[in-house]
Amino acid sequence: MSPHTTMYDRILVPTDGSEGVERAIEHAVDLAAAHGASVHAVYVVNSASYGTIPMETSWEGIADVLRDEGESALERVRTLAENRGVAVETALLDGSPSKEIVRYAEAEGCDLVVMGTHGRGGIDRLLLGSVAERVVRSADVPVLTVRVSGEGEERQEPSIVEDAEG
């Protein structure tokens, strides 16, 4: 591979607006800057998880709040990318986060997904599942997971997980 060959052209970084995910965003932006790639940031409004809201609650009101949170989260990615001179596109999506992330990656021709994971194991993972884990299992492109540390957790270096079939 010659030094001028670009390994990545479009790097997808999902955000949930949490403070922890910023580490994954910074990593995605650094990679994009190093490879001359663009960053595609997505925020998925997970409408499925609000099915238990009482009928008298206005879904429109909740959806508006979630969309505002999403816009703020995407704006943060835009700022980080633009500060590094990285081209950025943002999308606010509705649906199941893992499915929408994979669908977007394929539709937009992204060649890497960079996402934060809490690195939970055991019973936590069984009960909660993991968006990152589902994306790793179903995406056709490499997924780089960045451990976002919580209280008392050790930091772990990012790792790329390639699809076993590809």
Per-residue pLDDT of the chain (166 residues; tens, 9 = 90+): 445 555 899 999 999 988 888 999 999 999 999 999 999 999 998 876 666 666 556 667 777 888 999 999 999 999 999 999 999 999 999 999 999 999 999 999 999 999 988 766 665 555 555 888 889 899 999 999 888 865 444 444 555 555 544 4
Q: Which residues pair with 110 in a beta bridge?
A: none
Which CATH architecture best describes the domain 10-161?
A: 3-Layer(aba) Sandwich (3.40)
Q: Which two tokens stand for residue 13?
A: 């970084």
Q: Where are the domains of the chain?
A: 10-161
Query: In 3D, which of 113, 121, 92 has the Cα closest to residue 159?
Result: 113
| Pure H helices in the chain | 22-35, 59-83, 97-107, 122-128, 131-138
